[in-house]
Chains A and B, each alone.
Chain A
């Protein structure tokens, strides 16, 4: 999945009108809450076969960190 497709997938999951960018801090995205974090876990499993835990998100600061976490093999 390329960056544009990843951002589009995340935007839909976040139910957000405005586009996301890789260098956005997650903490400044109002839609990034406990529910979207849970949804992101499901996406990680569904699209990337990754079994993540909520605690794994503690290390993520920017959207690109999330991308790395979800896609790293």
Chain B
């Protein structure tokens, strides 16, 4: 896909550097690959180096696909400094996508602090501390920079057994909207995408828990079928690019008609 407003050029230039968390799998991987194919330099993060290497093997421009393995919840206070080190290594960042995440399907009776804490760490605390590092003037290009958070339609449409996951996503989406207000004067845009079910490894866990019969019934609620990671990646690239320069503070739901 070329730039819509200027069809002679790619959507991103090579010196547009985008940090993508969750780039080793599913939605994050699809976003990282698409940004890379559309010209950007991608800094790909996940916990497992070998899964990141697999992602790079699929990259259109492997030389512009850097790997930075790190467990984002192991030392969250250090995350802003980690972003500074990335800037020192690669140059100022123009984009940040937080697609790292964990799923959880558990009813109220199974609520426990440790599990809830893990979800809030990866969906709220880690991304906000990464955002803190990204928004630092010394680390970001400023005007033209964009952040993108992977929310969930579950944060907007309540579902049984999703209270922890949905409330963590809800907190993330609200935080993103606050950030959008805060960072607009510096020319940084902030948006969220909230997908319904997308076929990724995360969905497999949900499918196993639900059982085949209930999963098939759920799938039938989608007039346009379940989402593919590439569907989310297409919107993500648009929101990261200058094509969407008038859009900030939004949470865009993608659900293939299941609402």
B137 touches A34 (CB 8 A): no
Scoring A residues 27 to 48 as 1 if CB is less than 8 Å from chain B, else 0, what string do you get?
A: 0000101110000000000000
CB atoms of A15 and B185 under 8 A apart: no
Q: How many residues of B contact A (CB 8 A)?
A: 7
Number of interface residues of A (CB under 8 A): 8
Residue of A nearest to B182 (CB): A35
- The answer to whether A16 and B185 have CB atoms under 8 Å apart is no
Contact (Cβ within 8 A) A15 B186: no
* Shortest Cβ distance from residue B159 to the other chain A in the assembled complex, whole angstroms: 37
Interface check B71, CB cutoff 8 A: no
CA A17 to CA B182, docked complex, whole Å: 22
A31 to chain B, nearest CB (A): 6
| Chain B positions 170 through 186: 1 when the CB is less than 8 Å from some CB of chain A, otherwise 0 | 00000000000011011
Q: Quick one: CB contact mask for B183-194 with A, threshold 8 Å, 1 for yes? A: 101100000000
Interface of B is mostly: helix
Within 8 A of A (CB), among B131-150: 136-138
CB distance from B137 to the nearest CB of A (A): 4
B136 and A15: CB pair below 8 A?
Answer: yes
CA–CA, A40 to B23, complex, Å? 36
A47 to B59, CA, bound (A): 48
CA distance A35 to B137 in the complex (A): 12
Q: Would you call A17 and B138 a contact (CB within 8 A)?
A: yes
Chain A residue nearest to B139 in the complex (CB): A15
| Separation of A55 and B20 alpha carbons in the complex (Å) | 40
Residues of A within 8 A of B182 (CB): 35
Q: Are B138 and A33 in contact (CB under 8 A)?
A: no
Contact B186 A33 (CB under 8 A): yes
CA distance A33 to B183 in the complex (A): 11
Kindly identify, within residues 200 to 225 of chain B, every residue whose CB is under 8 Å from any CB belonging to chain A. Answer: none
* Residue in B137, B185, B186 whose Cβ sees the most chain A Cβ within 10 Å: B137
Of the A-B pairs whose beta carbons lie under 8 Å apart in the complex, a sample of 15, sorted by A's number, is A14-B137, A15-B136, A15-B137, A15-B138, A16-B137, A16-B138, A17-B138, A31-B137, A33-B185, A33-B186, A34-B185, A35-B182, A35-B183, A35-B185, A35-B186
B residues contacting A by CB (< 8 A) are 136-138, 182-183, 185-186
